Amino acid sequence: MSLLKKIVLGFLALLVVIQLFRPSKNISTEIITADDISKKYELPQNVHQILIKKCYDCHSNNTIYPWYYNIQPVAWWIANHVKDGKRHLDFSVFKTYPEKKANHKMEELSEAINEGWMPLDSYLWIHKEATVTASDREAINAWIKGLPIVFEKHEEGEQH
């Protein structure tokens, strides 16, 4: 057997074996948890639906998994992506955030959609429906501006 054939067979065997090791799924029994952002702030239905449709996959306890999640190592990549997204902002536990953190997250949400760095391009490649439209942005920003929160002032060039 040639070296190339051994390498290809070894690679295929590895792909088969890694299918047995799957990360746990990020699925709660309820889409809107007791600590959901809608339990902290009055949230217009249209804005909540925008957040659910365009943000909750990576920023809540309820990810809707595509068929390709069943293929390793894709599932590991998606699980890590969701874990990282929830580390930055988790709408499912938003009510538990201290006030200062919650205010900062609202400021970051506005920045993320206004500057276009959320949703991530890599997510939008397959999830075109998650594109934040101008009307989505306007609705979210209007809602945030109406919240009883005070954003911190940042110096020019300061990281936040």
Q: How many domains does the chain have?
A: 1
Between CA 67 and CA 147 the distance in angstroms is 38
pLDDT of residue 109: 95
pTM above 0.75? Answer: yes
Whether residue 89 is predicted with pLDDT greater than 60 in this model: the reply is: yes
Looking at residue 160, what is its pLDDT? Answer: 46
In this structure, what are the phi and psi dihedrals at residue 114, rounded to the nearest 5 degrees? -70, -40
What the block records as the tokens of 11 is 């690679």
Domain contains 36? yes
pLDDT at 154 over 60: no
- List pLDDT tens digits, range 50-70: 999 999 999 999 898 888 888
* CA–CA separation, 97 and 89 (whole Å): 10
In a domain, 5, yes or no: no
Q: Is residue 110 part of a domain?
A: yes
Q: Which residues pair with 62 in a beta bridge?
A: 27
> 7 lies in a domain?
no
Q: Is residue 89 part of a domain?
A: yes
- Domain boundaries, position 140: 24-145
- CA distance linking residue 54 with residue 157, whole number of Å: 29
pLDDT score recorded for residue 139? 97
Tell me what the mean pLDDT of segment 17-31 comes to.
Answer: 80
**Is residue 74 situated within a structural domain?**
yes
